[in-house]
Amino acid sequence: MMKGYILIIGILATIISALVTLNIFFQHSLQLEMAEQFNTQQLLLAKAQASNIQSYLQSLEHDLTHVAHFASTLPMPERKDFLLLSDEVFRGAEKIQPNLLFVDDKGQIFYSELKEALKKSEMQSVIKKSIGFCSNTVHMGEGKKRIFIVAPICRQENFEGAVVLSVGIQDIAEEYLASIKSGSRGYAWMMDDKGDLLYHPTQPGMVGKNLYQTDSSCFKCHRSFALEKKIIESRDEHYGIYVAPSGEDKVLAYSRAAVGDSTWIVAVSTPYSEVTVSIQRAMRFYSWLILLIFLTTSVISTLLIVFYRKKVQAEEIERHEKELEGYAENLEREVTKRTEELFAEKEKLNTIVSAIGSGIVLADVHGEIKWVNPVMTELVGKDITGMHCDEMCTDCTIISSYAVNEIQTEIIANLFGLKDRFFQITTAPIRGNGGDAHGYIRLIQDVTEMKTMEEQMMHSEKLASLGRLTAGIAHEIGNPLTSVFSFVQILKDMEQDEFKKESLGTIYFHINRIGEILKQLSGFSKMPTVDLRKWNINNLIETSLSLIQYDKRAKEIAIVRDFSPDLPEITTDGGQLSQVFVNLILNAVDAMPEGGTLTIRSGLNGGNIAISFEDTGIGIKRENITRIFDPFFTTKEKGTGLGLAVSYSIIKKLGGSMTVESEVNSGSRFRITLPLQGEA
Which positions ≥6 away from 432 have C-beta within 8 Å?
Answer: 438
State the chain's mean pLDDT as an integer.
Answer: 77
Q: What is the pLDDT of residues 511-540, one digit of tens each?
A: 776 776 666 566 555 556 677 888 899 999
Polymer length in residues for the chain: 680
Beta carbons within 8 Å of 394's beta carbon, 6+ residues apart: 417
Task: Classify 222 as helix, strand or coil.
Answer: coil
Average pLDDT over every residue of 357-371: 82
Single-letter residue type at 270: T
Average pLDDT over residues 460-481: 63
Say what the pLDDT of residue 67 is: 80
The C-alpha atoms of residue 147 and residue 164 are separated, in whole angstroms, by 10
Q: Measure the CA–CA gap between 267 and 37, rounded to whole angstroms.
A: 17
CB atoms inside a 10 Å sphere around CB 599: 17
Decide: residue 188, CB within 10 A, 0-12 exposed, 13-18 middle, 19+ buried: buried
Supply the pLDDT for residue 680: 40
How large is the greatest C-alpha to C-alpha distance in the chain, in angstroms?
176
Say which range, 2-16, 111-125, 313-327, 647-661, has the weakest mean pLDDT.
Answer: 111-125
> 174-230: per-residue pLDDT in tens?
888 888 876 667 788 888 888 888 888 888 878 888 878 877 766 666 666 777 778
pLDDT of res. 214: 74
Beta carbons within 8 Å of 300's beta carbon, 6+ residues apart: none
Alpha carbon distance 350, 345 (integer Å): 9
Q: How far apart are CA 396 and CA 412, in angstroms?
A: 7
The single-letter DSSP state of residue 79 is H
Contact 273, 251 (CB under 8 A): no
- The backbone region for 161, taken as left when phi is positive above 0, alpha when psi lies in -120 to 50, beta otherwise, is left
Contact 610, 672 (CB under 8 A): yes
Residue predicted with more confidence, 303 or 533? 533
Q: Is the pLDDT of residue 120 over 60?
A: no
Of 45-49, 74-78, 178-182, 193-197, the poorest mean pLDDT is in 74-78
Give the Å distances, CA to CA, from 48 to 35, 41, 318. Answer: 20, 11, 85
Q: How confident is the model at residue 670 (pLDDT cuts 50, 70, 90)?
A: very high
Which H or E element spans position 464? Answer: helix 448-494
As a whole number of angstroms, the distance between CA 466 and CA 448 comes to 26
- Tell me, what DSSP letter sits at residue 210? B
Sequence-distant (≥ 6) Cβ neighbours of residue 589 within 8 angstroms: 548, 551, 553, 554, 557, 598
For residue 589, pLDDT beyond 80: yes
Grade residue 237 by pLDDT with cuts at 50, 70 and 90: low
**Which region, left, alpha or beta, applies to residue 500 given φ > 0 means left and ψ of -120 to 50 means alpha?**
alpha
Where would I find the beta strands (DSSP E) of 392-525? 397-404, 407-413, 422-431, 437-446
If one compares 290 and 90, the residue with the highest pLDDT of the two is 290
User: Is residue 464 pLDDT above 60, yes or no?
Assistant: no
Q: Is 367 left (phi over 0), alpha (psi -120 to 50) or beta?
A: left
List the domains of the chain with CATH numbers. Answer: 2-164 (3.30.450.20), 173-274 (3.30.450.20), 359-446 (3.30.450.20), 451-525 (1.10.287), 533-675 (3.30.565.10)
Counting DSSP H helices and E strands in the chain, the numbers are 12, 23
Q: How confident is the model at residue 433 (pLDDT cuts 50, 70, 90)?
A: confident
Backbone phi, psi, residue 98, to 5°: -70, 155
pLDDT at 38: 73
Q: Round to whole Å and give the CA distance between 525 and 467.
A: 4
Whether pLDDT at 679 is above 50: no
Read off the amino acid at residue 271.
P
Do 423 and 412 meet the contact criterion of CB atoms below 8 Å apart? yes
Q: What is the CA angle 429-362-427, rounded to 5?
A: 40
487 versus 607: the higher-pLDDT residue is 607
Nearest-10 Cα torsion for 236, 237, 240, 245 = 60
- Secondary structure of 326-372 as H, E, C letters: HHHHHHHHHHHHHHHHHHHHHHHHHHHHHHHCCEEEEECCCCEEEEE
Burial 11-45 (b: 16+ CB within 10 A, else e): eeeeebeebeeebeeebeeebeeebeebbeebbeb
C-alpha–C-alpha distance, residues 564 and 601, integer Å: 8
Virtual CA dihedral for 546, 547, 548, 552, nearest 10 degrees? Answer: 100
Structure letter (DSSP) for residue 421 = -
DSSP element (H, E) containing 188: strand 187-192
| pLDDT above 50 for 119 | no
At 638 the pLDDT is 64
